[in-house]
């Protein structure tokens, strides 16, 4: 835009000089119209070159003759010096991923982190971090690092933090029991690395921990053994409950038999015999009744009751 302004100004000057060297009124009028149009064009160009639009989630870094200005431009329309160029920088949340998945995060090769644990085992880690550029520090970042701060600062910091922290944890702890502690220490390490760099860390996501094959097989066997032991405990508990049920049931039957045997005596048996004899007497079937010595009937019949 600045070159267009200069070009129009030069045209205006040339037209003005040409006008001075001519006496033809019609030609002079034409040159005057062209000169005025050139000046109007210069004014319009100045207005447009003074207005800069910054996109959403961006800040504008102002550069004047190679010198980075400290004041930033926020999203929307901004009026600036026409001689200033503006470099937009992203301040939205960004994700940087290092994993073994091909083409993830723009990396064609395996980008997982290989590191050593405290027990000397080599483990592979897939990790994603969420971060963003601090808006007020954008001019300093552009001045000292440039726009490729993700590759210059973020990536090396991730690799260093993971390797520095992993040597304090065993492989199985990172895999299971102390995974959250590991992530917390990595987060603290990255926050220290980003301090003063204009980069704000939001979160560390440990996506996958890949152990050596032998270690993974041993863990699977241990888990299977623990599940089998838990199953056996359940079976034993169930058998104990069944045994207790049977004991209670047997005790109830024994108590019933004891109570019944204690309640049966000669008087009860005679009463039952009398009741049977009375019932027999009401029957229309032919029968023969023989009384034993205790007046208990022995009944023989030719038909049913």
User: What pLDDT, on the 0 to 100 scale, is given for residue 305?
Assistant: 45
User: What pLDDT, on the 0 to 100 scale, is given for residue 91?
Assistant: 92
Instruction: Note whether 121 and 76 are same-domain residues.
Output: no
Residue-number span of the structural domain to which 126 is assigned: 91-211
Mark which of 32, 59, 88 sits at the end of a domain.
Answer: 88
User: What pLDDT, on the 0 to 100 scale, is given for residue 111?
Assistant: 80
SS3 302: coil
Instruction: Note whether 253 and 280 are same-domain residues.
Output: no
Instruction: Note whether 21 and 6 are same-domain residues.
Output: yes
Gap between the Cα atoms of 299 and 290, Å rounded: 7
Mark which of 88, 121, 139 sits at the end of a domain.
Answer: 88
Please count the other Cβ atoms lying within 10 Å of the Cβ belonging to residue 211: 19
User: What pLDDT, on the 0 to 100 scale, is given for residue 162?
Assistant: 93
User: What pLDDT, on the 0 to 100 scale, is given for residue 213?
Assistant: 78
User: What pLDDT, on the 0 to 100 scale, is given for residue 89?
Assistant: 92
Instruction: Note whether 35 and 120 are same-domain residues.
Output: no
Q: What is the pLDDT along the chain (305 residues), one digit of tens a residue?
A: 555 555 555 555 555 555 555 445 555 565 566 666 666 666 666 666 677 888 899 999 988 888 888 888 888 888 887 788 888 999 999 999 988 776 666 666 678 888 888 888 888 999 999 999 999 999 999 999 998 999 999 999 999 999 999 999 988 888 888 899 999 999 999 999 999 899 999 999 998 888 877 777 766 777 667 777 787 888 888 888 888 888 888 888 887 777 767 666 666 666 666 676 667 666 666 556 555 555 555 555 555 44
User: What pLDDT, on the 0 to 100 scale, is given for residue 129?
Assistant: 94
Instruction: Note whether 95 and 84 are same-domain residues.
Output: no
Instruction: Note whether 229 and 168 are same-domain residues.
Output: no
Q: SS in 3 state form for 187-239?
A: HHHHHHHHCCCCEEEEEEEEEEEECCHHHHHHHHHHHHHHHHHHHHHHHHHHH
Instruction: Note whether 28 and 126 are same-domain residues.
Output: no
Instruction: Note whether 179 and 96 are same-domain residues.
Output: yes
User: What pLDDT, on the 0 to 100 scale, is given for residue 157?
Assistant: 94
The total number of structural domains in the chain stands at 4
Are the CB atoms for 9 and 37 separated by under 8 Å? no
Mark which of 38, 55, 88 sits at the end of a domain.
Answer: 88
Instruction: Note whether 240 and 258 are same-domain residues.
Output: yes
Instruction: Note whether 164 and 242 are same-domain residues.
Output: no
- Tell me the H-state helices in the chain: 2-20, 25-49, 138-144, 149, 155-166, 171-172, 179-194, 213-263, 266-282
Instruction: Note whether 113 and 206 are same-domain residues.
Output: yes
SS3 117: coil
Instruction: Note whether 100 and 205 are same-domain residues.
Output: yes
């Amino acid at each position: 835009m600045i070159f267009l302004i200069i070009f129009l100004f030069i045209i205006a000057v040339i037209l003005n000089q040409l006008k001075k060297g001519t006496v033809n009124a019609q030609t002079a009028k034409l040159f005057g119209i062209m000169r005025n149009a050139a000046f109007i064009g210069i004014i319009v160009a100045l207005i447009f070159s003074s207005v800069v639009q910054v996109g959403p989630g961006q800040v504008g870094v102002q550069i004047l003759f190679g010198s980075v200005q400290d004041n930033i431009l926020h999203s929307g329309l901004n009026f600036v010096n026409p001689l200033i160029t503006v470099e937009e920088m992203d301040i939205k949340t960004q994700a940087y991923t290092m994993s073994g998945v091909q083409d993830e995060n723009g990396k064609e090769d395996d980008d997982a982190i290989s590191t050593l644990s405290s027990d000397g085992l080599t483990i592979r880690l897939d990790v994603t971090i969420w971060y963003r550029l601090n808006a007020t520090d954008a001019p300093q970042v552009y001045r000292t690092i440039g726009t490729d701060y993700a590759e210059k600062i973020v990536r090396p910091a991730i690799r260093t933090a993971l390797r520095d922290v992993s040597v304090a944890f065993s492989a199985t702890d990172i895999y299971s029991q102390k995974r959250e502690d590991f992530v917390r220490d990595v987060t603290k390490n990255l926050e220290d690395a980003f301090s003063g760099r204009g980069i704000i860390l939001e979160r560390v996501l440990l996506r996958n921990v890949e152990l050596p094959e032998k270690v993974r097989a041993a863990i699977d066997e241990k888990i299977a053994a623990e599940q089998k032991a838990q199953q056996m405990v359940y079976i034993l508990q169930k058998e104990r409950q069944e045994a207790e049920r049977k004991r209670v049931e047997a005790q109830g039957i024994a108590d019933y038999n004891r109570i019944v045997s204690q309640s049966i005596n000669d008087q009860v048996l005679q009463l039952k015999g009398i009741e049977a004899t009375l019932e027999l007497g009401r029957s229309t079937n032919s029968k023969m009744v023989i009384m034993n010595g205790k007046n208990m009937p022995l009944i023989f019949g030719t038909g049913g009751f």
